[in-house]
Amino acid sequence: MEHNVNHATLDVDLQKLEKIINASTWLRNNQLEPCIGDRDCPAEADSYGTRGLSVYTAFIKSHDVDTYGCKYEPCRAYSTQCMDEAVRHLRHHHFDHSPYLCTPASGNTWYVSVFPHNRALVGN
């Protein structure tokens, strides 16, 4: 299932990357996404994101020093001072990705939406 909108403003390579992500096993299984430079990270992310950080950084734009936004047109006003939050935004709003599954003893599954410092960016 694809959750992305308005591709008119996305670079062709980012559109291709988006399709690869949407077809990925890790997204479908809500596993943590690869980091740029990892063996299982799509090569299309290399030119756009930050090496060693989440593949989703390919879809983050820098506004100013320590201010990050989203490359998707409907979110052009989105801004945060935390890259972790920008990654969270992309996971939730554009890829419907919830890799932080929690299953307590009650059996009621839920997902963590607030991450420990830098955990949103770093691999396993």
Q: Mean pLDDT in the chain?
A: 82
Q: What pLDDT sits at residue 76?
A: 82
Position 29, amino acid: N
The reported pTM is: 0.77
Q: For 95, how many CA atoms within 13 A lie in the half-sphere containing its CB?
A: 31
| 91: Cα within 13 Å, side-chain hemisphere | 27
| 44 DSSP assignment | G
Q: What is the pLDDT of residue 7?
A: 54
Q: What is the pLDDT of residues 40-96, one digit of tens each?
A: 999 999 999 999 999 999 999 988 888 999 998 888 889 999 999 999 999 999 999
**Domain boundaries defined on the chain:** 7-111
pLDDT-derived band at 116, boundaries 50, 70, 90 = very low
Residue 99 CA to residue 89 CA, distance in Å, equals 13
Q: In the predicted model, what is the mean pLDDT of residues 9-35?
A: 91
Residue 113: pLDDT over 60 = no
Q: How many CB atoms lie within 10 A of CB 104?
A: 8
Return the number of other C-beta atoms located less than 10 Å from residue 80's C-beta.
Answer: 18
Mean pLDDT of 97-104: 77
Give the integer Cα–Cα distance in Å for 71 and 19.
15
Q: What pLDDT shows up at residue 63? A: 83
